[in-house]
Chain A
């Protein structure tokens, strides 16, 4: 009897010791890998439910329909890790592209997007070569491997890219420099980026700008030039006008000159880094090619020019989103092959263009923020597109005027009725808010197609250095 009593006491004491040991291994993760499995609809202390509720349906039987964009979820790691790999189990019958992004920058919000499913690539009947990370699609097979492709790359304008770069330099045949000064007469508000082309000439831009002093704080202007390798090669900087109040007292027109000589031929990116208090009223340059990237904010002209001048831009993009924040910015945007009415402030409107090549878009009233995945110029002659065509959700591979698609993409694997895709992020590129990481699904076109896709599981592997015993 005494042996049984002692054994029972031993078991009672052993149980919390074993539990403590198990908890310690969960915390210290001696193996270096911590795994969390999460089926949607089940509670998890590590992975939250997908939200917000107006963009997702209630989970049923371990399945959740996502009906709008963007849907997101939060991950709560219990300690420091160096990387995370997320595995998503899903079904997607209709959306061209499904991606998962880690929230990786603020003001403006930036997500590092990685592909989960690209049906444009998976369902293309072009010849496909799978590399270790890259996928190459060929309209007609010319290359036996991806190494062959890079050994003898095709012209830049024959290649579309998806989540990768194509490091073949862009060169304009027959380009000759000129001394004739061009003037871009448009009010651009805040941060902008553009690309220009240089060949045997000095890069020179003169910016006329005003500090409108509508928000509190200093408004420094910094213009930086980057070469094709992404290295900074020139910079110009101007300090605040001395008024850091928000009393909306505009400065006079100020000038900032940027000059860089001795540059080799190629495409240069210019970043106009400043606050939204700064309005660039005009830009003068001898450079013949100037295209703005992704976003232009046509500023209002209150305190500068009444009535507002408006502007016309040229773009090769077929889909532009626009928004105004003032009643004065309500207007009709007219493209060569489409128009859209910006009916009220704080609503995004999409201008779809159906014509081929570069089209003009008239913006009669200004005070409009325009966002697109393509390029925009303020004269037809200034337009050029030095980047490979991006493969987006709004055109099939066949519709692109290219012969090759180069993608950083691995097709999802099939597990029963589910597709399973893995994406990995370095923790250093994720914004950490009190040990909470935000991830967002990107499903372009989901609202226009009035469709949905299903998520079953989100599993996570957290990585850190293993503990050597």
Chain B
């Protein structure tokens, strides 16, 4: 049996790096701006990193040669995002009374629903 290291094309490596750096930067700068309002947003919009992540993500998806499924990891990420979204929705919807719980539950399940739809 011959073991071969999995290899990527240069463009796939670059777009993957671009995507991961953009996502990490978006989370990091968004958190910094949430902790210290204006830390980033006084100078530029933190959503520039989100835009970069979308551009690199689409590009990466277009050039990816071989896709490996990691269902447990993907489900875990979707659930984690759902919890974060639910907490944010709950904490920012104080004045919405009866809709508050409904919106938080929607936030909890939306990432998982999107994940299932994409998977299908």
Q: Which residues of A contact B (CB under 8 A)?
A: 1-2, 4-5, 8-9, 12-13, 15-16, 19-20, 23, 26-27, 45-46, 78
Chain A contacts for B41, CB-based, 8 A: 45
In the complex, the answer to whether B43 meets A12 with C-beta atoms within 8 Å is no
In the complex, the answer to whether A13 meets B21 with C-beta atoms within 8 Å is yes
Chain A contacts for B39, CB-based, 8 A: 23, 27, 78
Closest to A2 in B: B10
Q: Which residues of B contact A (CB under 8 A)?
A: 10, 13-14, 17-18, 21, 24-25, 28-29, 32, 36, 38-43, 49
In the complex, the answer to whether B36 meets A12 with C-beta atoms within 8 Å is no
Closest beta carbon of chain A to B15's beta carbon, Å:
10
In the complex, the answer to whether A16 meets B25 with C-beta atoms within 8 Å is yes
Residue in B18, B32, B42 whose CB lies within 8 Å of A45: B42
Chain B contacts for A1, CB-based, 8 A: 10
In the complex, the answer to whether A9 meets B42 with C-beta atoms within 8 Å is no
Residue in B14, B25, B32, B40 whose CB lies within 8 Å of A9: B14
In the complex, the answer to whether A9 meets B13 with C-beta atoms within 8 Å is yes
Closest beta carbon of chain B to A23's beta carbon, Å:
6
Chain B contacts for A2, CB-based, 8 A: 10
Chain B contacts for A8, CB-based, 8 A: 14, 17
Closest beta carbon of chain A to B50's beta carbon, Å:
13
Residue in B17, B38, B42 whose CB lies within 8 Å of A12: B17
What are 20 inter-chain pairs, A to B, with CB distance below 8 A?
Answer: A1-B10, A2-B10, A4-B10, A5-B10, A5-B13, A5-B14, A8-B17, A12-B17, A12-B21, A13-B17, A13-B21, A15-B21, A16-B25, A19-B29, A23-B32, A27-B36, A45-B38, A45-B42, A78-B39, A78-B42
The 7 closest A-B pairs by CB, nearest first: A16-B25, A45-B42, A9-B17, A5-B10, A12-B21, A8-B14, A12-B17
In the complex, the answer to whether B17 meets A78 with C-beta atoms within 8 Å is no
Chain A contacts for B38, CB-based, 8 A: 45, 78
Q: How far is the CA of A9 from the CA of B29 in the complex (A)?
A: 20
Chain A contacts for B32, CB-based, 8 A: 23
Q: How far is the CA of A5 from the CA of B18 in the complex (A)?
A: 12
Closest beta carbon of chain B to A306's beta carbon, Å:
53
Chain A contacts for B10, CB-based, 8 A: 1-2, 4-5
Closest to A26 in B: B43
Closest beta carbon of chain A to B81's beta carbon, Å:
21
Chain B contacts for A15, CB-based, 8 A: 21
In the complex, the answer to whether B36 meets A16 with C-beta atoms within 8 Å is no
Closest beta carbon of chain A to B56's beta carbon, Å:
9
Q: How far is the CA of A19 from the CA of B38 in the complex (A)?
A: 15
Closest to B26 in A: A16
Chain A contacts for B18, CB-based, 8 A: 12
Residue in B13, B36, B42 whose CB lies within 8 Å of A46: B42
Q: How far is the CA of A15 from the CA of B25 in the complex (A)?
A: 10
